[in-house]
């Protein structure tokens, strides 16, 4: 009987060294690993993921990398290979290319160090190809998640043509001009690697179109590798938006720790209106422009001074990367500057006095507080520069109790499902600070009937499609 093997960089369990040097287990973090874990819990499915450092490797050697009800296959890679593949190529090259984040006059610089990192990325993909080839039975289905494995499709096609392979991308895919930033041979290798998969899936049609556009450009000899041989034919593609584990998220939001966090947050904002957001601390999330838009609203419409608070929950992500640390510093600095310029008295903060801090920023990984912010907000601001899906755009409307208005970037994958012909989310161009300020004002001043209608429409769209539907679409795509 054919089985399913899941492949991802981050698995359902990682370890870190505790204060006494002991190993501390950390359950799946991030949208992808936690969504997949909820879906597969108890199913016995084989899940191959990569060790993320020394603590994970030690856990593997001690037999601790184990989750009941799953068949975990930890793929062990050394620190240097992991750094080259995850930090340099996946998260500071491919992530930047697919999200259009490069500050092009300065970055990227594809020097010999970067070339070594590309070698590391190949080795990392090969390590996964070895593990899957060894473990898979005849004709098994392999569902590969994300941009860490762009080369695995070709490697598996060459070694195990019997397998049914699917790649699902949780980020956008670069537009052709942006893919052309990569060195010609690298872009060509990436497209060839992806063409090796039986099918490639995306959260929305826009990313699928960019993906196909890259093959078309390469085929005309005008994409990556001008003057080179024509590129490969595109693989079969499909669009399958990730939905929520609706009951699971609703249960989480109803828990006592979220109620306690909501009570604390209410004290902090002191009865004022709330514009909230909850994101990983990450450049594509556009947190700084969101705060600048909030500031612009205070300047353009001074009637809001003292009457509204921007609650920003930005929890740590990929802290080994200089770019992410610099972005976090920018977020903190911007919040401080705005609070210094506009804040009054002592409060808006923990003391809850009469004073007002326009921005309440939390930097810790505090899921109950993030959920609390989503439940009590009047407006949820999600303005990424570009985002594969953005699950917070679905979680927020599901758990919100205030008929909150969703202000959503048209560059988030979720936009396709949640704009609802102009009757759902309010759309913003993520680069347009003044336009975003206007959208925040429109959301805050919308009639209660208008709010209820939009919130109901968005919630309806969120519950219509679940994570299980997304998974079923991948399995169907594997069958061809």
Run of H or E residues at 479: helix 467-479
- Mind spelling out the 3-state secondary structure of 303-356? HHCCCEEEEEEEECCCCCCHHHHHHHHHHHHHHHHHHHHHCECCCCCCCCCCCE
- Mind spelling out the 3-state secondary structure of 258-288? HHHHHHHHHHHHCCCEEEEEEEECCHHHCHH
Structure tokens belonging to residue 141: 């289905």
Structure tokens belonging to residue 260: 């306690």
* Residues in Cβ contact with 425 at an 8 Å cutoff, skipping those fewer than 6 apart: 393, 406, 407, 408, 414, 415, 418, 419, 454, 458
Structure tokens belonging to residue 24: 């501390």
Query: 268-304: b or e for each residue (b if 16 or more CB lie within 10 Å)?
Result: bbbebebbbbbbbbbbbbbbbbbbbbbbbbbeebeeb
* Residues in Cβ contact with 165 at an 8 Å cutoff, skipping those fewer than 6 apart: 141, 142, 144, 153, 156, 157, 196, 197, 198, 199, 478
Q: Report d(CA 260, CA 252) in Å as an integer.
A: 13
Residue nearest to ligand F6P (CB): 30
278: nearest Cα among 214, 373, 353, 192: 373
Compare residues 94 and 437 and give the one whose CB is closer to ligand F6P: 94
Compare residues 170 and 394 and give the one whose CB is closer to ligand F6P: 170
CB of 337 to ligand F6P, least distance (A): 28
CB of 414 to ligand F6P, least distance (A): 12
CB of 421 to ligand F6P, least distance (A): 27
Compare residues 33 and 59 and give the one whose CB is closer to ligand F6P: 33
Compare residues 282 and 296 and give the one whose CB is closer to ligand F6P: 282
CB of 170 to ligand F6P, least distance (A): 4
CA separation (Å) from 75 to 22, 58, 265, 288?
22, 13, 42, 37
CB of 34 to ligand F6P, least distance (A): 8
CB of 318 to ligand F6P, least distance (A): 6
Compare residues 317 and 339 and give the one whose CB is closer to ligand F6P: 317
Compare residues 168 and 342 and give the one whose CB is closer to ligand F6P: 168
Compare residues 30 and 108 and give the one whose CB is closer to ligand F6P: 30
CB of 140 to ligand F6P, least distance (A): 23
CB of 306 to ligand F6P, least distance (A): 37
8: nearest Cα among 90, 69, 66: 90
Q: Are strands 141-145 and 71-75 parallel, antiparallel or unpaired?
A: unpaired
Compare residues 313 and 457 and give the one whose CB is closer to ligand F6P: 313
Phi and psi at residue 392, to the nearest 5°: -65, -30
CB of 282 to ligand F6P, least distance (A): 8
- Interface contacts to ligand F6P, rule CB under 6 A: 10, 30-33, 146, 170-171, 317-318, 388
Compare residues 6 and 439 and give the one whose CB is closer to ligand F6P: 6
Compare residues 48 and 446 and give the one whose CB is closer to ligand F6P: 48
Q: Are strands 13-17 and 23-27 parallel, antiparallel or unpaired?
A: antiparallel
Q: Report d(CA 320, CA 309) in Å as an integer.
A: 31
- Please compute, for residue 188, the number of CA atoms within 13 A of its CA located in the half-sphere on the CB side: 17
Compare residues 193 and 358 and give the one whose CB is closer to ligand F6P: 193
Q: Is 92:323 a contact under the CB 8 Å cutoff?
A: yes
CB of 269 to ligand F6P, least distance (A): 29
CB of 431 to ligand F6P, least distance (A): 21
């Amino acid at each position: 009987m054919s089985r399913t093997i899941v492949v991802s960089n981050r698995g359902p369990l990682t370890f870190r060294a505790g204060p006494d040097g002991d190993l501390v287990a950390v359950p799946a973090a991030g949208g992808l690993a936690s969504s997949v874990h909820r879906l597969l819990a108890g199913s016995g499915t084989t899940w191959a993921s990569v060790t993320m450092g020394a603590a994970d490797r030690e856990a593997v050697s001690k037999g601790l990398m184990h989750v009941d009800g799953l068949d975990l296959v930890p793929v062990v890679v050394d620190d240097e290979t992991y750094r080259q593949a995850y930090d340099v190529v996946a998260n500071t090259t491919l992530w930047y290319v697919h999200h259009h984040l490069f500050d092009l006059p300065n970055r990227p610089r594809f020097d010999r160090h970067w070339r070594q990192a590309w070698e590391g990325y190949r080795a990392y993909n090969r390590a996964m190809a070895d593990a899957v080839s060894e473990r898979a039975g005849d004709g098994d289905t392999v569902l590969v998640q994300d941009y860490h494995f762009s080369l695995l499709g070709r490697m598996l096609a060459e070694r195990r043509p019997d397998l049914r392979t699917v790649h699902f991308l949780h980020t956008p895919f670069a537009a052709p001009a942006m893919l052309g930033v990569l060195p010609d041979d690298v872009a060509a290798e990436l497209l060839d690697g992806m063409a090796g998969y039986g099918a490639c899936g995306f959260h929305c049609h826009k990313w699928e179109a960019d993906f196909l556009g890259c093959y078309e450009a390469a085929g005309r000899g005008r994409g990556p590798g001008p003057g080179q041989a024509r590129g490969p034919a595109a693989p079969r593609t499909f669009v399958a938006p990730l939905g929520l584990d609706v009951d699971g998220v609703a249960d989480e939001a109803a828990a006592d720790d979220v109620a306690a966090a909501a009570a604390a947050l209410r004290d902090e904002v002191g009865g004022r209106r709330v514009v909230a957001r909850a994101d990983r601390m990450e450049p594509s999330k556009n947190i700084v422009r969101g705060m600048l838009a909030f500031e612009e609203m205070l300047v353009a419409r001074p009637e809001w001074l003292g009457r509204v608070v921007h609650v920003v929950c930005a929890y740590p992500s990929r802290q080994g990367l200089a770019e992410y640390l610099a972005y976090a510093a920018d977020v903190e600095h911007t919040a401080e500057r705005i609070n210094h310029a506009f804040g009054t008295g002592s409060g808006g903060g923990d003391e809850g006095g009469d004073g007002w801090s326009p921005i309440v920023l939390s930097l810790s990984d505090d899921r109950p507080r993030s959920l609390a912010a989503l439940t009590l907000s009047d407006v949820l601001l999600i303005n990424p520069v570009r985002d594969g899906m953005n699950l917070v755009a679905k979680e927020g409307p599901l758990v919100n109790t205030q008929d909150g208005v969703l202000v959503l970037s048209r560059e988030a994958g979720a936009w396709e499902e949640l704009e609802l012909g102009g009757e759902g989310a309010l759309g913003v161009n993520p680069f347009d600070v003044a336009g975003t300020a206007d959208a925040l004002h429109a959301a805050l001043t919308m009639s209660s009937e208008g709010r209820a209608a939009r919130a109901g429409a968005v919630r309806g769209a969120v519950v219509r499609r679940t994570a299980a539907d997304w998974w079923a679409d991948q399995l169907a795509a594997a069958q061809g």
